[in-house]
Structure 1
Amino acid sequence: MTQAPAPAEDAFAADLLRGHTDTIVLGALRTGDRYGFEIYKAIRDATGGDHEIKEATLYATYRRLVKDGLVEAYWGDESQGGRRKYYRITDAGRAVYRTNVAAWVATRDVIDILLDTETSTKGRTR
């Protein structure tokens, strides 16, 4: 007996999302500075707990974004418990975020068209 295909939520393409980790982190920093674990929680909470990016992946991302000048890191004061490293998006990071989001939207639109999904036909005249 063959097994039914997995539901869409089980077939979630985590690898596709992983390719956008930099953009996701930059997006989490658009509204203000955050410390590392706070970014992790913001991503998890934004998906209702359905998706988490591994902390090791995030910390590698933070280091890369700092090295590339897209994010600045600084130590917060210790008055509220342990010392935390905070991250702040730079102007270059904001520009990269906007470019990456535009590329994602264009890619999503093409894939929707090619897969003939419902969203590809909304508001389009051909």
Structure 2
Amino acid sequence: MKGKISSDLIRGNTDTIVLGILRTTDSYGYEIYKKIIEKSEGEYELKEATLYSSFRRLEKEGCISSYWGDETQGGRRKYYKITSAGETLYERNKADWEFTKNIINKLL
């Protein structure tokens, strides 16, 4: 039986997951959604509303910026780009996660 990750365990890390994907390249919403499924090998699917809430929050905090792409691939897409503040937040959150993961592993 394949396990299913609890969304409660991931919820607090959504912004960090998004930032991690944007560290490699600018991307648009649906592409980020597909990358999350791909990176989790199909074991985690982020709800679209959660993803777009993360975009709004990260943009408001200055961690990402957005711009409209051109129409060469069909409709115009809104692309997201990580900022230096986003890089800093990603590194801090990743370190916090590693620390937390180590403690939980000791406790379990």
TM range (shorter): over 0.9
Alignment of 1:97-112 (within 5 A): 97-112=90-105
Matched, 1:16 2:9: yes
* Correspondence for 2:44 among 51, 64, 75: 51
Match of 1:64 among 57, 62, 79: 57
Which contiguous aligned blocks of 4+ residues in structure 1 show a shift greater than 3 angstroms? none
1:38: which partner in 2? Answer: 31
- TM score, norm. by length of structure 1: 0.82
Q: CA RMSD in A?
A: 1.2
Aligned equivalents of 1:77 and 1:45: distance in 2?
26
Corresponding residue for 1:120?
none
Identical aligned residues as a percent: 56
1: CA distance, partners of 2:21 / 2:63: 13
Alignment pair present for 1:81 and 2:74: yes
Cα distance in 1, alignment partners of residues 77 and 61 from structure 2: 21
By relative contact order (CA 8 Å, sep 6+), the higher-ranking structure is: 2
Structure 1 residue 29 corresponds to structure 2 residue 28: no
Q: Aligned with 1:86: secondary structure? A: strand
Unaligned runs of 5+ in 1: 1-6, 116-126
Displacement of 1:113 after TM fit?
0.9
Q: Residue type matched to 1:36 in 2?
A: G
Unaligned residue ranges in structure 2 (runs of 5+): none
**In 2, distance between residues paired with 1:111 and 1:52?**
24
Q: CA deviation at 1:84?
A: 0.1
CA distance in 1, matches of 2:42, 2:107: 30
